[in-house]
Amino acid sequence: MKLLLFFSVFSILIFSCKKEKTIWESEWSAPLISDTLSLNNLVNDSTLFDDNGLYSMSLKRNLLDFNVSELIEIPDTTITEFFTPSINLTIAAGVSFVNSVEEHELNIPEVELKEIILKEGFINVRLENPIATKTFFTVNLPGATKDGVEFSNVFIAPAFEDDQVGVIETTISLAGYSIDLTGVSGGEHNILRSKIEVKTDPEGPSITLSNSDATKVFATFRDVKIDYARGYFGSKVISDTSINVIEALDVLKSGTIDFPQSVVRFQIENGIKVNANAELLAVSNENSIGNVVALNGSNIGVDFNLNPATGSWNSLAPSFKTIEFNAGNSNMESYLENLGSVHSVGYSMQLNPWGNVSGSWDEIFSNSRLRIGIEVDMPLKIGVDNLIVADTFAVTLNQDPDKTRIKSGEFILEAKNAFPFSAGIRIHLIGESDQVLHTILGTQEIISSLMGQYDSEEGLNIGSSNVKFSLSEAAISDINDIKFISVEATFNSIDPVSSVSEQVEIPFGAFLAIKLKTKLVSENIF
């Protein structure tokens, strides 16, 4: 009885006690961002090269590269032929009752073709037989040859039966065929010839063909792409604006950059055997902050001649025209220093500006191209003055106020810099709707490699920096709302001796490696 009383009292005491929450502080850190920027991020592997341990730039880009065989568009053409006798005829077995040669004009505006060779092309054939025995249709295309053999196909159409004409349908590839389009006379252009022969079954009965019976041929010449064309291509004008985007330069926010004097060349290539006039109508670039610089110079808006290509299939030699822009004839330096991420080049080209001076011997081959390229050669010795670039990273920072409360903290940016530029750093804490919640300045700059130490493993001078960003109470209270962190760097090429911004050479292999981590003190409640 005493034992039972003891346990009853003990139980009451335990369950009637009020449990206090346990509270303690902890310090923890976690990595947020790790990234390395090198010039390999900005260019392809053929643009920058090692020039005695320093970067040098040889930029080559195609602004336009156009396969000109696409200039000649052969429209789909349907050949329709109905053959009906004027009187009733009795036709013996194996006798031809249709034998017709026809010419069909291809509707190609402003272009007069004498000969084409097809890369692709098809004929859809439908043959209708109105008589009560099967018939043999022979379809020839005079002047269309492949490996020296003229196009010819024989089709057998079934007999008329149960009040239904006999029908055969098929598709034939014309790839590789050379087609003479000069017509029966040899002096025409855009003329496709056909020869249709129809005869009764040699092993069938004699039949009677009435003047109400129509033997029908439908042949659709379609989806033609050419490997070669000869003739007169007209005075066609090709005009467009080419847009090229350099996405890596889209991080620019403000500031200036100073390039050495450079020569920039536009090279126009004409791979057609035809005279042409061409013109650069306008050249401009727009950087990521919306600043547009138009290239001005005596070569803009002035037409020039393009000679025809020479040679043939295996010896085709395009003609080239080079237009050069330099500091003496243009604003090329300011054009480059705008660091445009979007470049637009407006151009116009007219074929045969003086008419048919070739005697219809304009020629296009499968490897003929119209190309506009840009070339820039210069040592990569540049100066930067308050050049601001930024990049944004997604992050997840959460706290549960009922269990963990962040009391204080900071972001720590560890940087290894092999570029001869210093960089002031600030970070922006950004919410879900891209609004900047807080901006925090770093405690120091990322130092230039010129003020760093030589690293034998990298073979470069490297400036090491440890930049801290203290979180305010307001920033800590918004910690759950932070969805992105933008790291913004202000670069300068300031000489450590003169304290003046100067052009500096960039060592080959230079990089900027950054790691951003948190260091937070939290109060934990359980």
Can you tell me the mean pLDDT for 404-420? 84
- Beta-bridge mates of residue 241: 346
**Nearest to residue 172, comparing CAs of 194, 145, 153, 190?**
153
Predicted confidence at residue 19, as pLDDT, reads 44
Q: Using an 8 Å Cβ cutoff, are 287 and 387 in contact?
A: no
Mean pLDDT of the 453-478 span: 90
Q: Which domain holds residue 307?
A: 56-69+235-379
Instruction: Tell me whether residue 9 is in a domain.
Output: no
Residues paired with 215 in a beta bridge: 83
Q: What percent of the chain has pLDDT over 90?
A: 39
241 and 179 both lie in a single domain: no
For 416-435, write each residue's pLDDT tens digit.
Answer: 999 888 888 888 999 998 89
Residue 497 lies in a domain: yes
Tens-digit pLDDT profile for residues 435-444? 999 999 999 9
Q: Are residues 121 and 253 both part of a single domain?
A: no
Q: 278 and 307: one domain? A: yes
- Give the residue carrying structure tokens 């010819």: 152
Q: What is the pLDDT of residue 18?
A: 42
Average pLDDT over residues 461-486: 89
In a domain, 344, yes or no: yes
pLDDT for the residue 7 = 29
- Asked if residue 93 belongs to a domain, the reply is yes
DSSP string over 242-255: EEEE-GGGGGEEEE
Token representation of residue 250: 């889209």
pLDDT at 120: 93
Confidence check: pLDDT of 214 > 50: yes
Helices and strands: H and E segment counts in the chain? 3, 33
Res 44 pLDDT > 70? no
In a domain, residue 7? The reply is no
Asked whether the CA dihedral 103, 108, 114, 119 is positive or negative, the reply is: negative
Determine, yes or no, domain membership for 51.
Answer: no
Q: Do residue 356 and residue 328 come from a single domain?
A: yes
Residue 16 falls inside a structural domain: no
**Rounded alpha-carbon distances, angstroms, from residue 425 to 45, 58, 511:** 29, 31, 17
Tell me, yes or no, whether 371 and 459 share the same domain: no
| Same-domain check for residues 330 and 273 | yes
Give yes or no for a contact between 167 and 52, defined as CB atoms under 8 angstroms apart.
Answer: no
Is 400 in the same domain as 280? no
Q: Are residues 95 and 154 in the same domain?
A: yes
pLDDT of 139-187, one tens digit each? Answer: 999 999 999 999 999 999 999 998 899 999 999 999 999 999 999 999 9
Stretch 199-217: mean pLDDT = 91
User: Which of 342, 363, 379 corresponds to the end of one domain?
Assistant: 379
pLDDT at 393: 82
- 91 & 201 share domain: yes
pLDDT at residue 11, rounded to an integer: 32
Torsion angles phi and psi, residue 247, rounded to 5: -65, -30
Average pLDDT of the residues in 294-309: 91
Count the domains in the chain.
3
CA distance linking residue 242 with residue 236, whole number of Å: 19
**pTM to 2 decimal places:** 0.65
Please report which confidence band the pLDDT of residue 46 belongs to, taking 50, 70 and 90 as the band edges: low
Q: Residue 114 domain-assigned?
A: yes
- Regarding whether 457 and 350 lie in a shared domain, the answer is no
Contact 431, 482 (CB under 8 A): yes
Do 461 and 449 meet the contact criterion of CB atoms below 8 Å apart?
A: yes
pLDDT in tens, 56-101: 777 777 877 877 777 788 889 888 889 998 888 899 999 999 998 9
Distance CA 111, CA 115 (A): 12
**More confident position, 472 or 258:** 472
262 & 207 share domain: no
Name the domain boundary from 332, 355, 379. 379
Q: Residue 297 sits in a domain of what CATH number?
A: 2.60.120
Q: Is residue 371 located within the same domain as residue 414?
A: no
- pLDDT-derived band at 222 (thresholds 50, 70, 90) equals very high
Q: In the predicted model, what is the mean pLDDT of residues 377-382?
A: 72
Phi, psi of 197 (to 5 degrees): -125, 135
Rounded to the nearest integer, the mean pLDDT of the chain is 83
Which of 232, 252, 281 finishes a domain? 232
